């Protein structure tokens, strides 16, 4: 085939940027430009948080007196539904981004993360109190459900034109005189809080007239159990190597024991799930999403059986591989909220290559399954402190004034000594600076 027929291979951008973490932030940005993940302008904007100034902040929340920053890191090695993805995470805790990258690398050995999601349904609650006859009220509401949904959609013109809109009216009886009407609304790429709260307030008088009750609260529920995301991943047993373990199968079985512990004990399950939310929240904060709503819904969902349980399940697969599943409510948005006004949010969404709210939910959930896996593997083998504290040492080194390569030098010595006190870090820094001075 002559050259003019050979189509230039579109180089697939890889999320595997080995040694990325050993570089400086500036070198990492340059590498992202070289590998076409970022334009030079976007890389520069990342460095300066261009566009997020006091005026922008003052338009977002009340009583603003300044700006507050968080580190923005990238979790690497993610393959989500067959596509290489960089995962932006804004978080203050060391080792979380390393953990996500590590686990994503393990999962990439078997194709990465497979994600599916429910439709983006956000649910409004309208509470009806002092209902004279619950039976009659239920019958009347059900008889008019289609009419009521049509009326609700008459208030949701633009959303319906996008393919969203009110989908279902559900009636729940709470006690002898109280019922709650749920309006389940497809809000597409919006979280839809303002939309459905407004709809609930508009529809409440209709429900009062039909039931004879008194309207109570009109607000969305954050138990978004109709807006779940499902993430699966596997790790070949051969990839589960770890110091002190002769073979991957032993590591796999140790992780399965850790899973069982969480399934047996709510005290363990809460920390197990914190490990999941380490990944989920990092992505949601970077992408300007309502992580408080997701946290509330996730933990309520974990307790839906009446006992608080893990959000993930890890099992031995048919080929001996380690198989993981995360299932959780995850209402996300790529429009509205902070996406309207925070330029850093728009940059994070672009870095992640997010195509919409459901895609963002998948990426966040993949990060959650990854940080859960990394935590369980560390806990089940060398323990959490080795990896976590080695990275915490970097923060201690910087705290006493180490900069640039001195941070790694001081941190590595702290980790060797398993001592993470600032006084010792200061001594090491003084020693290496003195030694450097003597050598010159």
Ligand X SMILES: CC(C)(COP(=O)([O-])OP(=O)([O-])OC[C@H]1O[C@@H](n2cnc3c(N)ncnc32)[C@H](O)[C@@H]1OP(=O)([O-])[O-])[C@@H](O)C(=O)NCCC(=O)NCCSC(=O)C[C@@](C)(O)CC(=O)[O-]
Q: Summarize as ranges the residues that interact with ligand X (CB under 6 A).
A: 18-19, 21, 76-77, 93, 95-99, 101-102, 105, 271-272, 274-275, 278, 371, 374-376, 378-379, 384, 387-388, 391
Q: Which of 183, 293, 363, 414 binds ligand NDP (CB under 6 A)?
A: 293
Between CA 58 and CA 143 the distance in angstroms is 48
Which residue's beta carbon is nearest to the bound ligand X? 387
Between CA 279 and CA 282 the distance in angstroms is 5
Binding at 180: pick from ligand NDP, ligand X, none (beta carbon under 5-8 Å per type): none
Least CB distance to ligand NDP at residue 296 (A): 8
> Secondary structure of the chain: what % helix, strand, coil (to 5)?
50, 20, 30
The two structure tokens encoding residue 235: 């790790």
Letter string b/e over residues 380-402, b meaning 16 or more CB atoms within 10 A of that residue's CB: bbeebeebbbbbbbbebbeebeb
Between CA 182 and CA 89 the distance in angstroms is 34
Binding at 190: pick from ligand X, ligand NDP, none (beta carbon under 5-8 Å per type): ligand NDP
Least CB distance to ligand X at residue 277 (A): 9
Least CB distance to ligand NDP at residue 92 (A): 20
362 binds ligand NDP (CB under 6 A): no
Residues recognised as catalytic: 93, 274, 290, 388
**DSSP labels, 9-20:** P-PPPPS--TTG
Kindly report the backbone phi and psi dihedral angles of residue 165, in degrees, each rounded to the nearest multiple of 5, phi listed first. Answer: 125, 175
Binding at 21: pick from ligand NDP, ligand X, none (beta carbon under 5-8 Å per type): ligand X
Q: Which is nearer to ligand NDP, 162 or 202 (CB)?
A: 162
**Contact pattern for ligand NDP over residues 44 through 83, marking x by CB under 6 A:** ----------------------------------------
**8 A C-beta contact, residue 343 and residue 59:** no
Binding at 368: pick from ligand NDP, ligand X, none (beta carbon under 5-8 Å per type): none
Least CB distance to ligand NDP at residue 162 (A): 5
Owner of token pair 């209402």: 331
333 binds ligand NDP (CB under 6 A): yes
Least CB distance to ligand NDP at residue 187 (A): 6
User: 197-216: which residues touch ligand NDP (CB under 6 A)?
Assistant: 197
Which residue's beta carbon is nearest to the bound ligand NDP? 336
Stretch that binds ligand NDP, among 67-75, 95-103, 329-337, 363-371 (CB under 6 A): 329-337
Angle between helices 343-351 and 266-286 (to 10 degrees): 110
Owner of token pair 């309006």: 183
Least CB distance to ligand NDP at residue 195 (A): 4
Residue among 278, 304, 303 nearest 291 (CA)? 278
**8 A C-beta contact, residue 160 and residue 167:** no
């Amino acid at each position: 085939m002559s050259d003019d027929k050979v189509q230039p291979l579109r180089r697939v951008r890889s999320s595997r940027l080995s040694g990325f973490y050993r570089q400086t932030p500036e070198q990492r940005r340059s590498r992202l430009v070289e590998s076409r993940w970022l334009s030079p302008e976007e890389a520069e904007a990342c460095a300066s948080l261009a566009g997020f100034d006091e005026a922008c902040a003052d338009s977002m929340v009340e009583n603003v007196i300044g700006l507050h920053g968080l580190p923005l890191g990238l979790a690497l090695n993610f393959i989500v539904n067959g596509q290489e993805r960089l995962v932006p995470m804004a978080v203050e805790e060391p080792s979380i981004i390393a953990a996500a990258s590590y686990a994503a690398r393990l999962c990439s050995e078997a194709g990465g993360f497979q994600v599916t999601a429910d439709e983006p349904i956000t649910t409004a609650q309208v509470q009806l109190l002092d209902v004279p006859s619950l039976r009659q009220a239920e019958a009347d509401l059900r008889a008019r459900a289609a009419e009521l949904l049509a009326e609700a959609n008459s208030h949701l013109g633009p959303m319906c034109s996008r393919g969203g809109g009110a989908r279902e009216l559900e009636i729940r009886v709470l006690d002898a005189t109280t019922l709650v009407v749920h309006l389940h609304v497809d809000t597409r790429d919006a979280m839809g809080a303002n939309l459905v709260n407004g709809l609930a307030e508009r529809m409440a008088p209709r429900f009062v007239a039909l039931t004879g009750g008194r309207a109570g609260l009109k607000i969305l529920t954050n138990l978004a159990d109709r807006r779940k995301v499902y993430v699966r991943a596997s790790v070949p047993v051969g990839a589960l190597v770890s110091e002190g373990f002769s073979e991957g199968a032993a590591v796999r079985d140790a992780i399965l024991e850790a899973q069982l512990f969480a399934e047996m004990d709510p005290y363990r399950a809460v920390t197990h799930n914190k490990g999941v939310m380490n990944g989920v929240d990092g992505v949601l904060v970077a992408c300007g999403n309502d992580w408080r709503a997701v946290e509330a819904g996730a933990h309520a969902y974990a307790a839906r059986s009446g006992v608080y349980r893990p959000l993930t399940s890890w099992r031995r697969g048919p080929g001996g591989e380690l198989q993981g599943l995360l299932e959780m409510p995850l209402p996300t948005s790529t429009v509205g909220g902070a996406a309207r006004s925070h330029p850093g949010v728009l940059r994070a969404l672009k870095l992640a290559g997010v195509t919409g709210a459901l895609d963002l939910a998948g990426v966040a959930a993949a990060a959650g399954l990854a940080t859960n896996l990394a935590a369980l593997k560390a806990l089940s083998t060398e323990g959490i402190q080795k990896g976590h504290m080695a990275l915490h040492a970097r923060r201690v080194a910087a705290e006493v004034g180490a900069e640039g390569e001195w941070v790694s030098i001081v941190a590595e010595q702290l980790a060797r000594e398993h001592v993470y006190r600032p006084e010792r870090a200061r001594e090491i820094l003084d020693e290496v600076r003195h030694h450097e001075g003597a050598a010159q």
